[in-house]
């Protein structure tokens, strides 16, 4: 089975495996700008069109920060530096830890191991074992410990090795993280960041393929954001750390090896705003995290068929940015939601309700929501493919919506 990722004009998506240590990477930048790269699940990649490289295919087995490359390619006119999404997260984290000594990280294997997705690699050597704390395998308790530390002045970042493991911490996240500021009458704030990779990966099995955003969204008092590109990953990480509210940052297992160019200057994004990915006129497509790439792939096909979709990456899963969404709905009058979350009670369901409540008069057609099937993600590749929304389905949905 091969799942196609389409290279965006500004960032290249590839990641045929969720293993942390290797990723195929294109080797030149000019290729990045104009080509489509298909990545097969068996980790081979082949440039499809107009690639500047006709080099023999090779896998870069240890994709480290590509600052060295940027001097090679001499795109000196283009500012910024290139890196992979997990490096962007790490950069954001490192900058915040340097800026504020109260920022600390705790989680399983974040310290000496460097994080199972390398987001905290090197930080323990730099900041010490207490600031990058390797915890025993006790999610509920170390999440609660992070909350207690936050109440008493620190700013911990709690990493769930996989978001699904945080189900064990639900007690602490719901009762203490979300509610404690309120039940204490505003006396204690909980500036924690809870982050980790979630989403459907590559045949990881049901329990490692969970989408916890639907379970956490009802908890009052927390904010949820989902990153999808190196640019917004770093910006959201920094914003989440600086926020006084508890923030849950959802990363995706398959997006860690996305490469992109990000600014050298410091930047912090807004936690509550959505991101306009592609302006358009005919239909508003709302999406987040990995589905953004399926949508953009479908958008390519749609554009060839003469449609003009507007694609918005909602980024903020709780609360929704109703301004950006509303503006778009008022322009296009048609909404398609594409998400990886479950059908029942997912983010799409909430978003559908929110849009219907606020913008019903602006809709020319009922909102269509494409979500994953309400199925525990199967191991078999074919079945797994069918549980998740694929670009072809998106194209069909838009065509039907625009009739």
Which residues here bind other proteins, judged by CB under 8 A? 101-102, 104, 128, 130-131, 135-136, 138, 140-154, 171-172, 175-176, 180-191, 220-221, 223, 243-245, 271-273, 316, 318-324, 326, 358-359
Q: How far is CA 301 from the centre of its chain?
A: 23
Burial of 25 (0-12, 13-18, 19+ CB in 10 A): buried
- Which residue lies nearer to other proteins by CB, 264 or 357? 357
To other proteins, the closest distance from the beta carbon of 267 in angstroms equals 18
Asked if 289 and 252 touch (Cβ cutoff 8 Å), the reply is yes
Burial of 59 (0-12, 13-18, 19+ CB in 10 A): middle
To other proteins, the closest distance from the beta carbon of 334 in angstroms equals 18
To other proteins, the closest distance from the beta carbon of 272 in angstroms equals 5
Tokens of 39: 């990545």
- Which residue lies nearer to other proteins by CB, 186 or 306? 186
- HEC-encoded secondary structure of 63-78: CCCCHHHHHHHCCCCC
- Which residue lies nearer to other proteins by CB, 71 or 218? 218
To other proteins, the closest distance from the beta carbon of 238 in angstroms equals 15
- Which residue lies nearer to other proteins by CB, 86 or 320? 320
CA-CA distances (angstroms) from residue 386 to 207, 290, 378? 17, 16, 10
Residues 159, 88, 286, 372, Cα dihedral to 10°:
-50
- Which residue lies nearer to other proteins by CB, 115 or 191? 191
Q: Is the dihedral of CA 357, 277, 79, 121 positive or negative?
A: positive
In the numeric block, the tokens 């930080």 are attached to: 123
To other proteins, the closest distance from the beta carbon of 311 in angstroms equals 19
Tokens of 245: 């509210």
Helix (H) or strand (E) holding 398, with range, is: helix 391-401
- Residue 152: name the closest of 184, 114, 112 by CA: 184
Tokens of 72: 């090679």
186 contacts: CB under 8 Å, gap ≥ 6: none
To other proteins, the closest distance from the beta carbon of 155 in angstroms equals 11
- 389 φ, ψ (degrees, to nearest 5): -70, 130
To other proteins, the closest distance from the beta carbon of 232 in angstroms equals 16
- Which residue lies nearer to other proteins by CB, 24 or 146? 146
DSSP 360: G
DSSP per residue, 268-298: ---TT--EEEE--SSEEEEE-TTHHHHHHHH
203 contacts: CB under 8 Å, gap ≥ 6: 379, 380, 381, 384
- Residue 401: name the closest of 302, 301, 293 by CA: 302
- Which residue lies nearer to other proteins by CB, 23 or 219? 219
- Residues known to be catalytic: 139, 208
To other proteins, the closest distance from the beta carbon of 128 in angstroms equals 7
């Amino acid at each position: 089975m091969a799942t196609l990722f389409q290279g965006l004009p500004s960032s290249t998506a590839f990641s045929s495996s969720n293993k942390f240590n290797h990723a195929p990477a294109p080797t030149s930048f000019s290729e990045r700008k104009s080509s489509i790269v298909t990545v097969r699940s068996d980790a081979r990649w082949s440039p499809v069109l107009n690639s500047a490289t006709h080099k023999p295919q090779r896998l870069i087995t240890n994709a480290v920060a590509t600052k060295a490359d940027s001097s090679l390619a001499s795109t000196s006119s283009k500012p910024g530096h290139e890196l992979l999404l997990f490096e962007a997260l790490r950069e954001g984290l490192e900058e915040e830890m340097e800026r504020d000594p109260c920022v600390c990280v705790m989680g399983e294997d974040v310290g000496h191991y460097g994080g199972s997705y390398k987001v905290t690699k090197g930080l323990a050597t730099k900041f010490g074992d207490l600031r990058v704390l390797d915890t025993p395998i006790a999610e509920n308790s170390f999440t609660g410990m992070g909350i207690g530390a936050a109440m008493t002045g620190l700013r911990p970042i709690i990493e769930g090795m996989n978001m699904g493991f945080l189900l064990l911490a639900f007690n602490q996240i719901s009762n203490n993280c979300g509610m404690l500021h309120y039940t204490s009458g505003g006396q204690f704030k909980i500036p924690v960041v809870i982050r980790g990779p979630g989403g459907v990966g590559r045949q990881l099995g049901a329990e490692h393929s969970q989408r916890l955003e639907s379970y956490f969204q009802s908890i009052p008092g927390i904010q949820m954001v989902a990153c999808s590109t190196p640019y917004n990953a770093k910006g959201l990480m920094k914003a989440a750390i600086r926020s006084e509210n508890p923030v849950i940052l959802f990363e995706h297992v398959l997006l860690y090896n996305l490469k992109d160019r990000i600014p050298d200057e410091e930047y912090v994004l807004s936690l509550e705003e959505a991101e306009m990915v592609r302006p358009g006129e005919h239909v508003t497509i709302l999406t987040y995290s990995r589905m953004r790439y399926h949508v953009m792939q479908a958008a390519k096909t749609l554009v060839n068929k003469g449609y003009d979709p507007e694609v918005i990456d909602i980024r903020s899963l709780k609360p929704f940015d109703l301004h950006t969404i509303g503006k778009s709905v008022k322009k296009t009058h048609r909404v398609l939601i594409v998400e990886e979350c479950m059908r029942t009670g997912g983010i799409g369901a909430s978003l559908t309700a929110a849009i219907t409540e606020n913008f019903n008069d602006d809709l020319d057609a009922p909102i269509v929501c494409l979500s994953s099937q309400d199925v525990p993600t199967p191991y078999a590749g074919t079945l797994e493919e069918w549980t998740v929304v694929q670009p072809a389905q998106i194209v069909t949905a838009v065509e039907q919506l625009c009739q």
